[in-house]
Amino acid sequence: MNEGRKANVAKEVPAARIKTSTPIAVPASDKSESAPASAPDSTPISPPPRSEASRAPSKRDFSDPLGSAPSEAAPARSFNPPSGEQEPVFQAIQQMFSRYRTITGENPVGTNAEMMKAIMGGNPKSAMLGPPEGQTVSGDGELLDEWGAPYFFHQLTKDVIEIHSAGPDRKLWTGDDVLSR
């Protein structure tokens, strides 16, 4: 019986003793007790004004969602062996990869610059092989072809790396690319 009395005591607290920190506003149109209370000043906050540049219409063309897709089919690429001039260069690069593989037990991996960094000493054995004789390395650390474009290296198997040269137009994946396997 005493426990029931304690529960009732909590319910019997006079309303005059309950303090609220925020006054509750009641809308003027509905003063019934069942109406939910609303917080004072419930006006939504508007975002800051946008700059003139952000209000200008977009100049982007959304008719082609890929943006870089050619409008007509690209010509088929030839995977023929490189010309006689490129073959000695490709062989020298392949020998560089072979020496690296012999010393470290694996091919270098990553982008052109990451692979060259590994070949030039950034590998577990700290072996410094350097680029093949007559080859140029860019300021970004990429091995460059005779036209000054970075090679693209594609590891085909554990021991075979395909070498792509962008060719005279200096753009990869066009008809004048030269590659070796």
How many other CB atoms sit within 10 Å of the CB of residue 178?
Answer: 24
Q: How far apart are CA 129 and CA 119, in angstroms?
A: 6
Task: From first to last of the 181 residues of the chain, give the pLDDT tens digit.
Answer: 555 555 444 455 455 555 555 555 555 554 445 555 555 566 777 666 666 655 656 555 545 444 444 444 434 333 333 445 889 999 999 999 999 999 999 999 999 999 999 999 999 999 999 899 999 999 999 999 999 999 999 999 988 999 999 999 999 999 999 998 6
Looking at residue 165, its amino acid is: S
Residue where the block lists tokens 């010309």: 83
- Name all domains of the chain by residue range, CATH numbers in brackets: 87-180 (3.30.700.10)
